[in-house]
Amino acid sequence: MFDAKNPQRTPISDLGEFGLIGHLTQATKLKHAHTALGVGDDAALIDVGTHYQAVSTDLLVEGVHFDLSYMPLKHLGYKSVIVNLSDIYAMNGTPEHITVGLAVSNRFPVEALEEIYEGIHLACERYNVDLVGGDTTASKSGLMISVTVVGRVEKERVAKRSGAKDNDLIVVSGDLGGAYMGLQILEREKQVYLENPDMQPELGGHEYILERQLKPEARKDVVEILKALDIQPTSMIDISDGLSSETLHLSNTGQMQYNLYESKIPIDPSIYALCEEFNLNTTTVALNGGEDYELLFTVPIEDHDKVKTNPNLTVIGYVKEGSGANLITRDDKVIGLKAQGFNHHEAE
């Protein structure tokens, strides 16, 4: 029983998001034989006979995950779906259905909610997903959107966070750091506006990174590429909280050591100039920025030739027996990685 007067209380920020989930679910016992995978991966897996059904849920909260001063409502609806679809692609599967839960205050007119649903419907259309239900309720603390996605994963194609083997290659799709730098641009222009509402935001020339933040895309194409190349990932995760954090998730779940080469991390050229402008370290941004929703996975070393010829994929390291995760710097120093990505429960 929780005692509000007990001084020996543990702040949620001490555990962080994934530590909290692990703590709260450690006593969970699976009761059904067809529950193939429970808590601890990008999605749960339910054995329905011919394939696995994958299920995942994400909650987006105003003031924590988005700021309506610069996040258009249509983009918010779109993004709320994308972040969930990404979890199914991270299992090497295909999303098929979603439900949407919406908690909204009376400061929002019906037209505002219509804009959110325009974005939701656009994402469903683009990714061939059906919206099949949900719930709407009142909120006294801002806007909240919860999306649950149900997908399909072929049993022989499933990719969990565990499974990497000694000498496997570490591969990432796309490029990293763009979403974080898009957020920096938006936050800077917000502060300029607050100080002088007559000033117009300077967003020109930053279309790519702003889209990475405001309207990300899930990597459906990567799942299709891997199938076409006849590559079966040995482990996989999507990059929502930063490359460093996700690499450690793979390492901790699979009980293997992950080693990343700093020089191999793919970064869009526009990020370098912006990092200099904001006095940020480019590698730190790529490692810890988050919200890129790229796929991070491992493949057998025998698949190297298949991977290296595809422009959507980059080999950034290797797996070996051991534990933890390291960054091998450009001058060949080995630095232990820490989970320094976005912490939703960080103390204010």
Residue 37 pLDDT: 84
Choosing among 1.25.40.10, 3.30.1330.10, 3.40.109.10, 1.20.1630.10, the CATH entry for 12-153 is 3.30.1330.10
Q: What is the pTM of this model?
A: 0.90
Residue 348 pLDDT: 40
**One-letter amino acid for residue 302 of the chain:** E
Mutual orientation of helices 269-277 and 178-195 as an angle, nearest 10°? 40
Residue 300 pLDDT: 98
Closest by CA to 102, choosing from 56, 149, 147, is: 147
| Exposure letters 55-81 (e unless 16+ CB within 10 A, then b) | bbebbbbbeebbeeebbebbbbbbbbb
**One-letter amino acid for residue 318 of the chain:** Y
Residue ranges of domains in the chain: 12-153, 169-336
Chain centre to alpha carbon of residue 205: 25
Count CB atoms within 10 A of the CB of residue 257: 17
For residue 329 the two structure tokens come to 């710097």
Residue 344 pLDDT: 43
**One-letter amino acid for residue 169 of the chain:** L
Superfamily of domain 169-336: PurM-like C-terminal domain (3.90.650.10)
For 89-148, write each residue's pLDDT tens digit.
Answer: 999 999 999 999 999 999 999 999 999 999 999 999 999 999 999 999 999 888 999 999
